[in-house]
Amino acid sequence: MRRINLFTIMMLMASMAMAQKFLTLEDVMSGGNNWYNLQPENRFTAWWGNVPVETTADEVKTLLDGKTLFTIEQLNETVGEKIAHSGHNVVFPYGGKTIVQVRGNGQRVQIDWKKGAVVWRQSIPEGAEHQDFNLTSKHLAYTLDGNLYVKTADGEELQISTDGSTDGSNDIVYGQSVHRDEFGISKGTFWSPDGKQLAFYRMDQSMVMGYPQVDITTRIASVKMDKYPMAGETSHQVKVGIFDVEKRTTVWLNLIGEPDDYHTNLTWAPDGKRLYVFELNRAQNDLRLIAYNTTTGKLEACLYQECSDKYVEPMHGLDFLPWDNTKAIMQSQRDGYNHLYLLDVNTGSLEQITYGDFVVQEVVGFNTKAKCVLYLSNAMEPRTSCLFSRNLVKPRCTLIGAGEGVHSASLSEDGQQVIDRYSSPTVPRSINLYDTKDGKGKNILTAKDPWADQGYAIPEITSGSIKAADGKTDLYYRMVKPVGFDPTKKYPTVVYVYGGPHAHNVDARWHWCLRGWEAYMATKGYLLFILDNRGSEWRGRDFEQVTFHHLGEVEMEDQMEGVKFLKSLPYVDADRMGVHGWSYGGYMTTNLMCSYPDVFKVGVAGGPVIDWKYYEVMYGERYMGTPEQNPEGYARCSLLGKAKNLKGRLQIIFGYNDPICVPQHTLSFVRVCEDAGAQLDLFTYPGDGHNMFGRDQIHLHERITRYFEDFLAK
Amino acid sequence: MRRINLFTIMMLMASMAMAQKFLTLEDVMSGGNNWYNLQPENRFTAWWGNVPVETTADEVKTLLDGKTLFTIEQLNETVGEKIAHSGHNVVFPYGGKTIVQVRGNGQRVQIDWKKGAVVWRQSIPEGAEHQDFNLTSKHLAYTLDGNLYVKTADGEELQISTDGSTDGSNDIVYGQSVHRDEFGISKGTFWSPDGKQLAFYRMDQSMVMGYPQVDITTRIASVKMDKYPMAGETSHQVKVGIFDVEKRTTVWLNLIGEPDDYHTNLTWAPDGKRLYVFELNRAQNDLRLIAYNTTTGKLEACLYQECSDKYVEPMHGLDFLPWDNTKAIMQSQRDGYNHLYLLDVNTGSLEQITYGDFVVQEVVGFNTKAKCVLYLSNAMEPRTSCLFSRNLVKPRCTLIGAGEGVHSASLSEDGQQVIDRYSSPTVPRSINLYDTKDGKGKNILTAKDPWADQGYAIPEITSGSIKAADGKTDLYYRMVKPVGFDPTKKYPTVVYVYGGPHAHNVDARWHWCLRGWEAYMATKGYLLFILDNRGSEWRGRDFEQVTFHHLGEVEMEDQMEGVKFLKSLPYVDADRMGVHGWSYGGYMTTNLMCSYPDVFKVGVAGGPVIDWKYYEVMYGERYMGTPEQNPEGYARCSLLGKAKNLKGRLQIIFGYNDPICVPQHTLSFVRVCEDAGAQLDLFTYPGDGHNMFGRDQIHLHERITRYFEDFLAK
């Protein structure tokens, strides 16, 4: 009898095991071969002027009634060659007109799909990089090597610069992003609204030291010197030029300040007569908004100044009101949180239009008719990002759509409608179409949980808050419990950490912003804990700036509050605690391993900062000043002196060609460990940069997991 | 009663444990802090002409009766400054005269210790490198950057070359070793016996590609391009010049052959009228011995030619008979083993003077009176190196000293006496003074076993032979049994391997040539096995050349015979087999891990070759030809294609600045592993080259050990 019982139970267990699938790295990582199949259902949308459309691989149709506008096949037939490959990457250049713009086969083509006719086409110059096409003028700006060119709508090719580097040295670079993509800068050309003038950056970095990046794929390894201005060292010098396409002339802005100041967030006046530049001194504590005359290049007005005893960080340009060329939305966190201000560009007068202990995360656009600005903020709750409409006539603020989760929004041409997408801890994806005046609308898609739907065992994922080390600030965490959690057992626990500015890890999107690897680790029997310490984003200026001049210290104190909390939980095995993080999180991981050698048994640090003197000027000096100004801070925050404390198992992994946290960080740490007799483990991905993608991402996470399995699991 | 018994036993065990000391890495490695204390007792000896002397830190005394010749203090008092620091590095330039030469404080000083007077002194030019001082003429040759200089005995400084690289490029290099130290080359200047003419190398490597070596210790990492001619690529070009100090003129030898041929083993005729050069074509299969006229630079005679369908490798210059300027000893392995030949340099006639299935390892010198040549060979047994005297008048060969162990020998000026040093498996060190005519003499020192003497537990170390994979060739192994060996237990077993040419691991010196790390591993409970496979040295030409054009294959077959043998032993745990090796041994280790993934569970490969195309011209092409000539061999012997087979735990460790097996080897393997989804472990020593020394050596072996402890011990 007993024997039969056992047999029955075993059969039952076997069938249960068969029924339950466990997530693998191939399922949870974007480089994995089953990742796509486990994504929440989606519909791809776009705006054709004020008409919401749905794009598929084969066609574009109206979103609401599903009427086909055109098929890809049809477009290619019209063009006479296979130029379009998918409905997802077509452009509707002119709302209301039945014209679509397609790029392919080295050309840009505008097609009237109703007439079945090509209305404009132009070949793209071979090798053109950093292409910036203006839909109004149809002029194309682009770069080749370090030089800048314009191809006009009628096909004339104009060389704007002639002293850009063509020898690969990158000494002088035109029309590309400057200041190492800090201050919200991501490109180097800026068309005036009418597309007749082109503002552009010129960066002279001939005086900047190069970091040797070794390429092992050549017959004999070769080297490229990558311009990398390290904290306190000579930085590059940036100028702003304006090219007038009709006149064929360039004027240079008469920039004020020092040659190594920052010139950010270039914004054109709607009438093209002015260019607005946010200018910040190298010490990053004195910001000015300057209006330049685009004909003379001369300074017309200093409209705004913001100083700080820590730093000011301009991240956004001006957003002019579509109905009033004299007024623009400006963003500042001068009252302690990033908020919106209405700036009169003639008088410089400023009116704050959002208030409160929350941050505005993004200006989405304007409802031109209702005279509203649409923006995302976490006014509902710190972990959220919800859509609001602020009426600029009557001071009224309206929530549009769900007051939960994390949203992104795309406005129609007139801003009266919005396609709002969000997820919340329990909603994988929701797509809605709203009227931005009253928030009324309809649901387009609510996706089911694809993991549960396909029978995978899903760990329990929760979020909560603890107090920071200051005893008063709320910090939010995510906890991922092992699959098959049993509260009477003790689990090995891994703290995943980032900890630096400009980022957070915990928010109210699906699964509380879970990273796929955490789910995978949960299937292996680990408890994961992720805490956004002070210094991270979405919590306001002071929350972030508390780390000023001593990066890593407050962040670690807060993480140790997380550890204290974990140790209070009966199911956390305090003898088996690990830590993992990348980049700033690699710095935190290494720092925690060396600072709390008796707490963390195993750590995996990726692409870490080791000493801020090896980091670049823009980001590094903002938080740390220069090594000359803040020697004590640099010394305290360097991990080189802490290597000797290392006791646990620490593996550092880095991209062999990391241009951001250059390998000198990791290798210097390796060297001091060796000198101190400390053992650490090391790995690298030749050819990869600061992060790993595709199959390397799978390999990397298999590696990270294996390390915890080797040394923390038992 | 039973309880008391147990207690007694426990106490007894505790006291035994206390009595027995276990070797640590600090004890067994030369970088360790107790290594020196565990070395066999020693006495440092030298020759003052024909008088054997003993040197200490403080003085020099006669070896036999211990009479002090002088103290270091005395020398420094005579000079008037602290120039000498130890008796170990003084030079006796003129046998019979009471003169000693000391170098220090930027000077060379000759002191008559009897008279208490400085007889000659000269300052050394600042920064002088590659110093080559001729005791007869007292002229000093030296280099600065890429140029060559002579400082004459009377202090004149002459610049010999003017087109050497002074910009750090090393494009043109004078007076330094060429051909990457292959072919027995170790320097670039060669004084004629009277010191009046200087032969020197000029190497043009402007056409050679540079390997980027990154220095992470500068403020921002910097790079140096290290000239590295890879197999099949453009090689450097060498010329030989002769500078006449009196005439101040340079003649260049009219070298025959191609610009990238090898010019090796330069030997002066005793009268200075000729320079003998062994010239080898780039394919390394056609060797000629050429005599050049040193006044005209013209070829006077081609004295000898040796061709091969594999390769000829000249490693030794001529040794002229001190009593006959027309005859010299030449070495060749043309009969299958390296033997001595008597060459008549006028007629080119050749007489073989040693014969047999053994190799001559070194020509020690001559007994001028008895007209004997002294040499070391393994005629007694393949694992030995014993001293022999071959009479050149009557063909008679005499063993001098013990016919066992591995010897080194230092002859008196007239060659009638020799200080012979050797160790054997059971004798840590024996120093003897012999008459080279009859081998009679006396023992100076026989050292005790310092390990046993200091109470350390010593593993059992044995040597034996097995048959190679060809079924007939004897291969010698060393086996190190775990401390406290119990034949009924099963032990994790590590194969240590080198396997390449020019080296062996097993010989009849103390402890069968044990490496300290093996003893350390034995204390941790591992069995170590080391086998010299075919392809290694001391066994003759065919034994070595069987690997021609397919390196690694026969070597692995033989190592697998070792594994077969190990598996036949009841105390070897076949499920816990590991492998470790460095350089060629790193190649073998990685190859074995990938080729026999089910045999080896854990491997540690150091500074490995991965693909012979990344190795240099001289060594690489000798064994593999060029990638163009031998594409199939290069493909078969590359490990890049084998990465996908990797199953076990493999850690590769390399010097971050390895100039020999450049990091491109390891990093390329890392990349293919990543691409194949294979996991391997990695470590590097920034700033270190092909090998680690000092404390890094300790760190390294702690690391290697830990890897086996982590993954093989259990």
Distance of CA B671 to the CA centre of its chain: 33
pLDDT of residue B2 exceeding 60: no
pLDDT digits (tens, 9 = 90+) for B57-108: 999 999 999 999 999 999 999 999 999 999 998 999 998 899 999 999 999 9
What pLDDT sits at residue A624?
Answer: 98
Chain B nearest C-alpha distance from A710 (Å): 8
On whether the CB atoms of residues A66 and A54 are closer than 8 A, the answer is yes
**CB interface of A with B, residues 427-486, below 8 Å:** none
Helices (H) and strands (E) in chain A, counts: 12, 42
pLDDT of residue B11 exceeding 90: no
Q: ipTM of the predicted structure? A: 0.94
pLDDT of residue B209 exceeding 50: yes
Portions of chain A given CATH number 3.40.50.1820: 451-711
- Judge: B220–A214 Cβ closer than 8 Å, yes or no: no
Chain B nearest C-alpha distance from A221 (Å): 6
Running DSSP on this structure, what letter comes out for residue A193? T
pTM: 0.95
Radius of gyration for the alpha carbons in chain B, expressed in angstroms and rounded: 27
pLDDT of residue B7 exceeding 70: no
Domain A451-711 CATH (choose: 3.30.365.10, 2.30.30.100, 3.40.50.1820, 2.60.40.1290): 3.40.50.1820
What pLDDT sits at residue B656?
Answer: 98
Average pLDDT over residues B292-296: 98
Distance CA B107, CA B151 (A): 12
Cβ-Cβ contacts under 8 Å, A207 against chain B: none
Tokens standing for residue A164: 């850009």
Average pLDDT over residues B128-157: 97
Average pLDDT over residues B367-395: 97
What pLDDT sits at residue A1?
Answer: 41
Which chain A residue's Cα is nearest to B665?
A216
What pLDDT sits at residue A612?
Answer: 98
- Judge: A695–B675 Cβ closer than 8 Å, yes or no: yes
On whether the CB atoms of residues B521 and B493 are closer than 8 A, the answer is no
The bridge status of strand A491-496 relative to strand A527-531 is parallel
- Percent of chain B scoring above 90 in pLDDT: 96
Which chain B residue's Cα is nearest to A710?
B710
Substitution target in B214, B228, B674 with the highest count of A β-carbons within 10 Å is B674
Which chain A residue's Cα is nearest to B664?
A216
Average pLDDT of chain B, as a whole number? 96
A276 contact B CB<8A = no
pLDDT digits (tens, 9 = 90+) for B677-708: 999 999 999 999 999 999 999 999 999 999 99
Superfamily holding B2-38+451-711:
Alpha/Beta hydrolase fold, catalytic domain (3.40.50.1820)
pLDDT of residue B216 exceeding 80: yes
pLDDT of residue B609 exceeding 60: yes
A686 contact B CB<8A = yes
Average pLDDT over residues B48-63: 97
- Annotated catalytic residue within B658, B665, B668, B701: B658
Cβ-Cβ contacts under 8 Å, A668 against chain B: 216, 686
pLDDT of residue B8 exceeding 90: no
pLDDT digits (tens, 9 = 90+) for B624-679: 999 999 999 999 999 999 999 999 999 999 999 999 999 999 999 999 999 999 99
On whether the CB atoms of residues A40 and A453 are closer than 8 A, the answer is no
Distance CA B43, CA B49 (A): 19
- Judge: B687–A699 Cβ closer than 8 Å, yes or no: no
Across the strands, what pairs with B437? none
Substitution target in A602, A610, A611, A667 with the highest count of B β-carbons within 10 Å is A667
pLDDT of residue B13 exceeding 70: no
B179 is catalytic: no
pLDDT digits (tens, 9 = 90+) for B431-456: 999 999 889 999 999 999 999 999 99
* Residues of chain A predicted below pLDDT 50: 1-2, 6, 12-15, 17
- The partner residue sitting opposite A684, judged by closest CB among B223, B670, B687, is B670
B690 is catalytic: yes
* Largest interatomic CA distance in chain B: 99
Portions of chain A given CATH number 2.40.10: 42-123
Tokens standing for residue A414: 């007139």
CB-based burial label for A126 (10 Å; 0-12, 13-18, 19+): exposed
Helices (H), B21-101: 25-28, 72-79
Look at domain A42-123 and name its CATH class.
mainly beta
User: Given pLDDT bands bounded at 50, 70 and 90, which one contains residue B457?
Assistant: very high
- The partner residue sitting opposite B667, judged by closest CB among A210, A682, A686, is A686
What pLDDT sits at residue B15?
Answer: 47
User: Given pLDDT bands bounded at 50, 70 and 90, which one contains residue B227?
Assistant: very high
- Judge: B695–A710 Cβ closer than 8 Å, yes or no: no
Residue B140: name the closest of B96, B176, B189, B187 by CA: B189
Is B305 strand, coil or helix? strand
Q: Which residues contact B275 (CB under 8 A, 6 or more apart)?
A: B190, B199, B240, B242, B253, B266, B267, B268, B269, B291, B292, B294
